[in-house]
Amino acid sequence: MTFIPNISLNDGTTIPQLGLGTYRLEDADAERVVAEALEVGYRHIDTASLYKNEVGVGRAIASSGIPRNELYVTTKCWNSEQTDPRAAIGNSLDRLGLDHVDLYLIHWPAPTRGTYIDAWQEFAKLRADGLTTSIGVSNFLTEHLDALAAASDIVPALNQIELHPLLQQNELRAVHAARGIATESWGPLGHGKADLVAELPALTNLAERYGKTPQQVVLRWHIQEGTIIFPKTTHRERLVENMSIFDFEISDADMDEIRGFNRDERIGAHPLEGNWD
């Protein structure tokens, strides 16, 4: 089985650096894909109440026969659930068929709602009660992290943000590093909305140099940058391909070349946009 390294979090726990994302997977597809991922060696699964596939994810986990303590499961509290995170996580656990998750995230700050700070304070109680091992946030900007710091002594274990070669989030990642917050990348390959190979033809040259696909080179770049990734796919062969990134190392010069691809170009939504109902 492929060795997947762990990243240490600020609460004394660890998270597998590579996992599987399940965004936009229907329940039935989620059950199949998660089952296949677990078969080929994945142990870290990322879902959310918004995705409406926690039941399928839970079925795959239950049928896998893998001991619970060998799995890492993340789910997220949607914006409209921020006023009652205890009910939200309870509903997620019921759908997943679990008694706890390993990581529970505030999905978006949704600042116009004005509820994420109170939600964070409730998250601390959920952790204390054993409903989740770690707590963190997603899509938070520095100003949102500052607001949490002003209201709570508990620092998020990680911030899950859009991050790929076209949007490298260098300033925010520096804030994370200074505060001991791990960086987790969603859309590490462009979230299916950007063809990184077409946008960045130099990736093809890099891939040929290492005998890998351009996608593997991008995922390996993330790994060497120290970020946590969970690329989504519905194909077993791609599950294997995405995990086959630990048998080579990108040189310092080539890492710098990929860093030079940054355009600060978002593919997903900006955290300050909309109400996020």
pLDDT tens for 129-151 read 999 999 999 999 999 999 999 99
For the segment 88-113, the average pLDDT, to the nearest whole number, is: 97
Query: Which pLDDT belongs to residue 193?
Result: 61
**CATH architecture classification, 6-194+227-233:** Alpha-Beta Barrel (3.20)
Length of the chain counted residue by residue? 277
Please, which residues have CB within 8 angstroms of residue 33's CB and are 6 or more apart in sequence? 20, 22, 25, 60, 233, 234, 239
pLDDT of 102 strictly over 70: yes
Domain boundaries, the chain: 6-194+227-233
Residue 48 has pLDDT above 70, yes or no: yes
What confidence tier does 21 reach under pLDDT thresholds 50, 70, 90? very high
CA distance to 127, 181, 194, 235, 244, per residue, from 161 (Å): 22, 12, 16, 24, 23
Query: Above 80 in pLDDT, residue 194?
Result: no
Q: What are the residue numbers of the active site?
A: 51
Q: Give the single-character DSSP code of 155.
A: P
DSSP at 257: H
Distances (CA, A) of 178 to 9, 169, 229: 13, 14, 20
Question: Is the model more confident about 50 or about 192?
Answer: 50
The model carries a pTM of 0.96
pLDDT at residue number 202: 94
Structure tokens at 268: 């997903």
Burial of 99 (C-beta count, 10 Å sphere; 0-12/13-18/19+): exposed
pLDDT (tens digit per residue) in 176-193: 999 999 999 999 998 766
